[in-house]
Amino acid sequence: MVVVAVFLVLFTISNRPEIIVELWPLPYTLNLPLYLLLLVSAFLGFIAGVIITFFSSGTMRKNFRKAEKKAGNLEKELKKLRDDIVKLEKTKKPENI
């Protein structure tokens, strides 16, 4: 985390000149430091990537929930079958030959 903070400070110091950003077709202009424009753009790109990844992995999350549910049902069935085996072994009488 310290490395990232040092990088951001150095980046900010080396990109201090102000630039004019025109918001065409709107009649607005902004005077922003270059570092601010670059950091905000990177942050917005990161957020867009997170959103796209979240929505594109929806099918995978759905399949994971199905698999978890199926595994839980199979574990319950396995426990029931093991209990049945124990009951059968207790009720089975030994045969003397």
DSSP code string of 18-54: EEEEE-TTSS-EEEEEHHHHHHHHHHHHHHHHHHHHH
Section 7-15 average pLDDT: 86
Section 84-89 average pLDDT: 91
Q: Per-residue confidence at 85, pLDDT binned at 50, 70, 90?
A: very high
pTM of the model: 0.62
pLDDT over 60 at 97, yes or no: no
pLDDT over 70 at 93, yes or no: no
pLDDT over 60 at 67, yes or no: yes
Contacts of residue 29, Cβ cutoff 8 Å, sequence gap at least 6: 20, 21, 22, 23
Q: What is the pLDDT of residue 96?
A: 61
The token pair that represents 77 in the structure block: 């069935």
The token pair that represents 92 in the structure block: 């089975």
Contact between residue 30 and residue 21 where contact means Cβ atoms under 8 Å apart = yes
